[in-house]
Chains A and B, each alone.
Chain A
């Protein structure tokens, strides 16, 4: 251990308490530092890019031309399918990361430091959600665009028509990246409400993997309706056309899910002892 400085240094010259204090931008910056300074963030985001691109490449390699000349829409659909196929897998990684981002603070005691700095607490949750959403969106979009760029030559080599990078394609890519953001935010809400990593991951993965299966197994008609409103199902309408919902409807359903998980989490966060 190196030597300790004289106590006189405790009074800082680097602080001007008169014009500094809590600020929204400061809290957002703090959450960004927190997110980027953990290995789990970089692991998760790397895995997402890796999964997205490799699944797209695998799929492209096995794609063969259609028997008949495809329509423009079919070409676009194919490009969207191939570029976003990995979302089905990377949503699991995002769900885990979404839980970890907040449950990690509770399990380590960090949350007490966070709440002492921001006693109102809710700005911590809001800033965390914002930073996590933006980071996830950027990473997901990058992964999808890389998938598209890498797979187009492969498809062309197979004699499959490649879709140009036009607005409708971009819209689907935004939708797929947005889908991952929503799944992440729902998981963040679950993690914040449960305050436990194991419980949060179990609940959010359960919502994505187990709950839809249960409803599909129930032979009643209402079960099918419920299943179509679940985030993992409804959210796919954000980027696949011809699904149950129009993209804007899917957007509302997903916003509803985020509200249903994040609002109770916020209320509990404000009320409970840390």
Chain B
């Protein structure tokens, strides 16, 4: 259980996290979603006491992180892929980390096996690929068998097998009743892994709901109709709560009316239909809609003029 109350972090003039209030509950995988610079990583660093909040507070399992007598048993965190001395071997890194809590070599070997690092455990971390670094970070997070897991972009750099494994692992950990919080800027990844989503935009929480609700909330379900008599059909469909937009001369995007109703109207008026498709909004669309105004680093669409 992670409880944030008006959590705020300012770096000089810039507000990285702005009065974020949210609760991450056990037994579920909760996704922290947001564009780059939205405040996800800063929030995670504040949860584990690395950054001091400018105001507000965040508690883990009922206490401030620093108050726990065995922090590694409470929270396991993978923050940056490389929070590890590059000159040390993976095994020694985990051994040193565990030693602070009296965690011995047996558990270290266990998490090495679990994350598939047996072959490289004795090698220096500096030579690790991004994927191996991520696995080592996950191994470190699991070391204390923690009640709460916090993972910042855990699938970054993992191969497909690793991605599947992380998804399975996180779901399994949540099913054991643990609190699992992961961040990502990949909406598709969240749709596959998370049960609940907290969307960040420019440091503020702009949505906090089950995945299905976020999709329903932000995305519009519309019907795409294609007909040679598009103009007439548009006239017949016109109603106060119906939106008709014309994609091209013969194609309409209709919102507010079901495909069945449109088909019925067309049939009773003897109109020919070439296409009648229900378009469901994806999490991706919902996310882009939600964060449209909240993206910090806007890219400009490349127009021919710019290219020239």
Residues of A participating in the B interface, judged by any CB pair closer than 8 Å: 1-5, 7-12, 14-15, 17, 20-23, 26-27, 29-31, 33-34, 37-40, 104-105, 108-113, 115-120, 271, 273-274
A-facing mask of B190-232, CB < 8 A → 1, else 0? 0000000000000000000000000000000000000000000
Known contacts A33-B92, A37-B88; A2/B99 CB under 8 A = no
Q: Which of B66-122 contact A (CB under 8 A)?
A: 66, 68-73, 75, 77, 79-80, 82-89, 92-93, 95-104, 106-107, 110, 113-119
The reply to whether B79 and A112 contact each other, CB–CB distance below 8 Å, is: yes
Q: How far is the CA of A29 from the CA of B79 in the complex (A)?
A: 24
Known contacts A8-B172, A10-B114, A20-B73; A26/B145 CB under 8 A = no
With both chains docked as a complex, state the minimum distance between the C-beta of B67 and any C-beta of chain A, in angstroms.
Answer: 8
Of the listed residues A23, A30, A38, A40, the one surrounded by the most CB atoms of chain B closer than 10 A to its CB is A30
Of the listed residues A5, A113, A119, the one surrounded by the most CB atoms of chain B closer than 10 A to its CB is A113
Which residues does chain B contribute within 8 Å of A3, judged by CB atoms? 116
Of the listed residues B82, B83, B84, B145, the one surrounded by the most CB atoms of chain A closer than 10 A to its CB is B83
Known contacts A113-B140, A115-B49; A22/B176 CB under 8 A = no
The reply to whether B101 and A20 contact each other, CB–CB distance below 8 Å, is: yes
The reply to whether B87 and A14 contact each other, CB–CB distance below 8 Å, is: no
The reply to whether A12 and B110 contact each other, CB–CB distance below 8 Å, is: yes
Chain A residue nearest to B164 in the complex (CB): A4
Q: How far is the CA of A118 from the CA of B49 in the complex (A)?
A: 10
Which residues does chain A contribute within 8 Å of B48, judged by CB atoms? 116, 119
Q: Could you list 24 examples of A-B contacts with CB < 8 Å?
A: A1-B131, A1-B132, A2-B118, A4-B161, A5-B115, A5-B116, A7-B165, A14-B106, A14-B110, A17-B73, A22-B100, A22-B101, A26-B100, A26-B102, A33-B92, A40-B87, A105-B85, A108-B87, A110-B83, A112-B50, A117-B97, A117-B101, A119-B66, A120-B66
Chain B residue nearest to A40 in the complex (CB): B87
The reply to whether B82 and A108 contact each other, CB–CB distance below 8 Å, is: yes
A-facing mask of B152-191, CB < 8 A → 1, else 0? 0000000101100100110011001000000000000000
With both chains docked as a complex, state the minimum distance between the C-beta of A22 and any C-beta of chain B, in angstroms.
Answer: 6
The reply to whether B102 and A10 contact each other, CB–CB distance below 8 Å, is: no
Residues of B participating in the A interface, judged by any CB pair closer than 8 Å: 45, 48-52, 65-66, 68-73, 75, 77, 79-80, 82-89, 92-93, 95-104, 106-107, 110, 113-119, 131-132, 140, 142, 144-145, 159, 161-162, 165, 168-169, 172-173, 176
4 closest pairs, A vs B, by CB?
A: A21-B70, A37-B92, A30-B99, A119-B66
Which residues does chain A contribute within 8 Å of B142, judged by CB atoms? 10
* A-B CB contacts (within 8 Å), total count: 167
Known contacts A7-B169, A38-B88; A23/B102 CB under 8 A = yes
Q: How far is the CA of A33 from the CA of B102 in the complex (A)?
A: 13
With both chains docked as a complex, state the minimum distance between the C-beta of A43 and any C-beta of chain B, in angstroms.
Answer: 11
The reply to whether B107 and A109 contact each other, CB–CB distance below 8 Å, is: no
Chain B residue nearest to A115 in the complex (CB): B50
The reply to whether B100 and A112 contact each other, CB–CB distance below 8 Å, is: no
Which residues does chain B contribute within 8 Å of A20, judged by CB atoms? 70, 73, 101-103
